[in-house]
Amino acid sequence: MAYKNLRHFIKTLEEAGELVRIKTYVNPHLEITEITDRVSKHYGPALLFENTGYDFPLLINAMGTEKRMAMALGVNNLDDISLQMEALFKSLTSPKNNFIDKLKMLPQLSEIASWMPKVISGKGECQEVVMTNPDITKFPVLKCWPEDGGPFLTLPIIHTKDPITGIRNVGLYRMQVFGPTLTAMHWHRHKVSARHFNEYKKLGKKMPVVVALGGDPAYVYSATAPLPDGVDEYLLAGFLRKKRVDLVQCLTQDAQVPADADIIIEGYIDPEENFILEGPFGDHTGYYSLADFYPKFHITAITHRKDAIYPATIVGIPPQEDAWIGKATERIFLVPIKMTMLPEIVDLEMPVVGVFHNLVIVKIKKEYPGQAIKVMNSLWGAGQMMFTKMMIVVDGDVNIHDMQEVAKYISDNVNPSTDFIFTRGPMDVLDHSCSTMSFGGKMGIDATKKLPEEIINTISSNNQISSLNINEIKAMFSEISEMNNSLLIQGISVVFISVKKSRKNHIKELNQLLFKTKHFTDVKMIIYLDDTIAIDDIADAVWRFSNNVDPLRDHFIVEENNISHIGFDGTRKTKELDGFERDWPNILASDETTINRIDAIWNELELGKFIPSPSNKYRKQLYKGGAVVEE
């Protein structure tokens, strides 16, 4: 389904009972984030803030549930898109035995051609109003979290072109606002736009960059999609909409943008100019990404619809709206992976607590020894999958969308000394656990049922251990703050322990001692976390662990009584205790003033039953310091 514009999507959401209009004044500085954080963590509605103190209303959380993400892409279920894609691939690649079979393909080829983006003549709706003096500060740009470096555009669709080939790339990168005509452009070194920038630098030319906001929500999704180099994101958008994207020529830059967008920001980057210090920014990991230097974007023109709506999102401690954008990618791109790379893959899951790059679960149809390892290595070499920190491969009948079922399957089928595979490779720039930025340890877990050739030694642990004597263990080891052994009751041989770390090699030594006691004889895995973390919440514990661990550096295998055990250090790393040289970021939480303000006006928002702030919980877990944790 193609939406005519963003207002058409809003109307569709409202008619489905999926949107609430908020007429009370709410400040884009921190307050909209606080409301959205409460709503998104309870899978609440899209929010249209009509009174922002600016001339433009603000839409947020529009794709904040699986249902709304499917609505944004015009389907009832996200799997519908993968089924459409699979049918198209099979039709195009199946043998054509005669001329008649080839003729039958013509209507389908014609339909595919109709999805190609087209530059139309004249101006688009996005150019109905031309700002005489361009000023990005006229829009309700969000400051999301207290330690953010300033206000940020969070849903900008960035258009760049390769200066050699002219091929367009469309991406989604945050933009910090520094003044009416100046922002930063936060693209990481592995992004296509960053590569375009490097080409302009070699040529000594200024780089045209154009930003679109709003329009059909398929544009936002397509800008995030992990497409192969050279594949136009607007072709994907055309496939999703089943209608081409009409583009119009920009006024001051040689670029083309969707005619039905709400706001267009035109400008350039001068590769010869010094970068600007951008950030910090509360990121999708649930931690701040810290300040660093990025290119300056100079605005040359701003145009917009007469009835423009400013779209935004927030990211932070999961779940947030971006989880469902990631879920769409998981479901849509499963088909190309299966059909072009790994036909043995049955299903794929990127758990929300893994914040995309930290954890991926893969289900395969296993036919030969070592197949799980082959799948791991293949995926680590495939596009953005190269950033995956931890990859778990299972087989059989396990439902990989049920985390308890997956954990039980891992516990039943894994020998820590033989089935954990450790390596190093490229990491996401936002991974703060790496000793070196963007490069660190990875872990694969072969949790498939083992074939005779794969069995090196027998696992003799008892997965039915019911509990641990926590008080007795804490009496033996005073540094242990809390223990969570709730998974043992479910037959899952994993224990979470929070520790007040106080010396070098503390976790390694404690791990060795614990597995020598009678209490942990039948426990396969211990995950260690800081004493500030509430380990009673398993989802939160896994989120903190997966962010804080470098699996290669932070794992400790213990062989005791012919049984293999493994421990993982998921605590904060410091220079004093761990020799860790990088700054460690803080987690995200609203400040008390903002929380109290939203508490006070909640009934005016007409959002139903009062939702307490998630930050009440996380404020207790903040480390000393601001965006950067103090030693």
List residues with catalytic annotation. 283
- Where do we find the tokens 């984030």? 33
Query: Tokens 């939160």, residue?
Result: 540
Summarize the chain as % helix, strand, coil (round to 5).
30, 25, 45
Strand 296-304 relative to strand 292-294, pairing: unpaired
Burial category of 343 from C-beta neighbours within 10 Å (exposed 0-12, middle 13-18, buried 19 and up): exposed
Question: Within 442-492, where are the H helices?
Answer: 470-476, 486-489
Query: Distance from first CA to last CA of the chain, Å, rounded?
Result: 53
Distances from the Cα of 320 to the Cαs of 45, 56, 179, 241, 554, in angstroms?
12, 24, 28, 25, 28
- Furthest-apart CA atoms within the chain: distance in Å: 81
Concatenated DSSP letters of 481-531: EEEE-HHHHTT--EEEEEE---STTHHHHHHHHHHHSGGGTT--EEEEEET
Q: How far is CA 319 from CA 228, 347, 353, 490, 540, in A?
A: 28, 22, 8, 25, 11
Q: How far is 30 from 28, CA to CA, in rounded Å?
A: 6
For 550, phi then psi, to 5°, come to -100, 105
Place of tokens 């393909």: 105
> Shortest CA distance to 504 belongs to which of 572, 584, 581, 579?
579
- 560 in Cβ contact with 516 (< 8 Å): yes
Neighbours of 29 (CB within 10 A): 16
Nearest C-alpha neighbor of 65 from the set 357, 353, 328: 328
Instruction: Return d(Cα 154, Cα 319) in angstroms, integer.
Output: 17
Q: What is the DSSP string of 144-185?
A: -STT-SS-EESS-EEEEE-TTT--EEEEE--EEEEETTEEE-
Q: Are 441 and 422 in contact (CB under 8 A)?
A: yes
Burial of 238 (0-12, 13-18, 19+ CB in 10 A): buried
Strand partners, 287: 587
My answer on whether omega of the bond before 311 falls inside 30° of 0, hence cis, is no
Residue 521 buriedness (CB in 10 A; 0-12 / 13-18 / 19+): middle
Burial level of 577, CB count in 10 A (0-12/13-18/19+)? middle
Query: What are the residues whose beta carbons fall under 8 Å from the beta carbon of 137, sequence distance 6 or more?
Result: 177, 179, 180
DSSP of 55-115, one letter per residue? Answer: SS-EEESTT-SHHHHHHHTT-SSHHHHHHHHHHHHHHHHS---SHHHHHHTHHHHHHHHHT
